[in-house]
A and B are shown apart, each in its own frame.
Chain A
Amino acid sequence: MPDAIAMSGVSYHFGEQVALSDVDLRVGEGECFGLLGPNGAGKTTAIRLLNTLLPLQDGDIQLFGLDVRRQAMAVRRRLGYVPQQLSIEGALTGRENVAWFARLFDVPRRDRRGRVDEVLEMVDLSDAADRLAATYSGGMVRRLELAQALVNRPALLVLDEPTVGLDPRARDSVWARVQDMQQQYGMTVLLTTHYMEEADELCDRIALMHRGTVRAAGTPQELKDGLGAGSSLEGVFRHYTGDSLTDTKGGLRDVRATRRLG
């Protein structure tokens, strides 16, 4: 059985700005995989490459054995995606927002209404479903987006910082739903988060990214053990990314280099 995600040698640059360099990632089917890393590490870029939003410049990405370059439509059919930015059509009701995506994913007409109700129920929005989404709170928008992403029963659910701005109860319920889906269908989940305890608890495996490269990958336990007994994931994160000394050195070197040129 092919991996849910297989990225190899993936690099990406925005003009001069290198966002990813030579990233290899493998995520097995049914896994919950966490991408961690500080702001600007390249997490969102990696996600936008594998969900076909950005054109691949270097390297290869396969989802369930499908090539993102040549089989973009088939890839998209298997994806549910919640982007980092809150995004909903405020001029439609919650239900209309979800039904819209059910149509765009070709959920068969006979299943559509049931499926829409089901995911709205799942994210606890049944009561607010017929209000305009413009009247939703931030947390409600996030849950509505999750409903949109689940309505096609994706094989791979991609969540870019899905729990930012959710209260603890809502956060727990989102993860409980996601885990339900995962168990029921063997759905694979790829998520990014800045909450270490969330990653520790939910993810089967984790990759730590920094400056466009993967610095470490493994189960939370492996990563913690690698640093020494009694370490926390927080400590692992600091170890691989918070190395401010090398950062400044790099910065200085850059400055000197430009001076010499000038």
Chain B
Amino acid sequence: MSAPPAAWADTAPRGAVLLTSRIATFCLVELQRMRHDRSELVTRAIQPILWLVIFGKTFSRIKAIPTGQVPYLDYLAPGVIAQSALFIAIFYGIQIIWERDAGVLTKLLVTPTPRVALVAGKAFAAGIRAVTQAVVVLVVAALLGVGLTWNPLRLLAVVVVVVLGAAFFSCLSVTIAGVVLKRDRLMGIGQAVTMPLFFASNALYPVSIMPGWLRVISHANPLTYEVSALRALLLGLPTNLWLDFGVLTGSVVVGICAASALLGRLSR
């Protein structure tokens, strides 16, 4: 013990450095949590595997969905990656209410962590978890014979897309948590939001076969842009990658702002 209390307090990081440091901290903590509970990786893998094996295989056979030259299973795989990221991310609102009830959020809010940094930290932590899930789905898809890219640059871009998607949906979930404030209410609303988001996207079928009104909704749904980007990167399907990345990044920024504006409601 040598330094006087808080001797370094005034040389502390600010702005972007602070934000990056907090995001790194929350991601690290997420990895530590995951390391202590590896069974979750397995249990969470079951659902996407079922989607690929049962839904994917069956619909490949009956050729009900027009996906052009691409086999339906291949077409579906990026959708399942986005879906499992969505399901993971939606859990973060419940987690933050749980942390509030357990008093941990209170202590986090008393650390020199601006609310934006706290929310961003959580959002990217969700991204980290979603990426581990995406790896599992990619491996399963490859085993099922899906012809994916192995180009490392494209895979890196896939990681970025998955992180952005999970970050946005975790912010959405935290925003809803900040509105409803109660865990059981959030569970209900979480379900009521997740499924429509999923079905009103191009995760399972192309936008072109949707009725007009659904097409409009799906164009306002960030999940659609996430799936399009994943299909383009993994399968080489056409899309406007700039638009996809732009929409995802913009959604994350808006999501972080909305969630951090409502975070105070959870601490009172």
Enumerate chain A interface residues (CB-CB to B < 8 A). Answer: 51-55, 73-74, 76-79, 81, 83, 85-89, 91-93, 96, 100-101, 103-108, 111, 118, 132, 148, 152-155, 184-187
Contact = CB atoms under 8 A, between A and B. Distances in A.
Contacts of A148: 107
B6 A87 contact: no
B36 A74 contact: no
A118 B1 CA distance: 9
25 contacts: A53-B106, A53-B267, A76-B110, A85-B102, A85-B103, A87-B103, A87-B107, A89-B29, A92-B29, A92-B33, A96-B29, A96-B32, A101-B107, A104-B108, A106-B8, A106-B12, A106-B13, A106-B112, A108-B8, A152-B6, A153-B3, A155-B5, A155-B6, A184-B1, A186-B5
Interface of B: 1, 3-10, 12-13, 18, 21-22, 25, 28-29, 32-33, 36-37, 102-104, 106-114, 264, 267-268
Contact of B102 (A87, A96, A155): A87
B141 to A, nearest CB: 30
A66 B114 CA distance: 17
Given A77-B112, A187-B5, A89 B104 contact: yes
A81 B36 contact: no
A81 B109 CA distance: 11
B112 A91 contact: no
A16 B21 CA distance: 41
Given A91-B33, A100-B25, A154 B112 contact: no
- Max count, chain B CB within 10 A of own CB: residue among A55, A101, A103: A103
Contacts of B268: 54
Contacts of B1: 118, 184-185
Given A78-B9, A106-B8, A185-B4, A51 B33 contact: no
Given A73-B114, A83-B107, A85-B103, A103 B25 contact: yes
A83 B267 contact: no
A76 B112 contact: yes
Contact of B36 (A53, A76, A132, A154): A132
Contacts of B37: 91
A85 to B, nearest CB: 4
- Max count, chain B CB within 10 A of own CB: residue among A52, A87, A148: A87
A104 B111 contact: yes
B3 A79 contact: no
Closest 4 A/B residue pairs (Cβ) = A87-B103, A85-B103, A104-B111, A77-B9
Contacts of A93: 32, 36
- Max count, chain B CB within 10 A of own CB: residue among A73, A186, A187: A73
B5 A81 contact: no
Contact of A154 (B5, B106, B113, B264): B5
B112 A104 contact: yes
Contacts of A155: 5-6
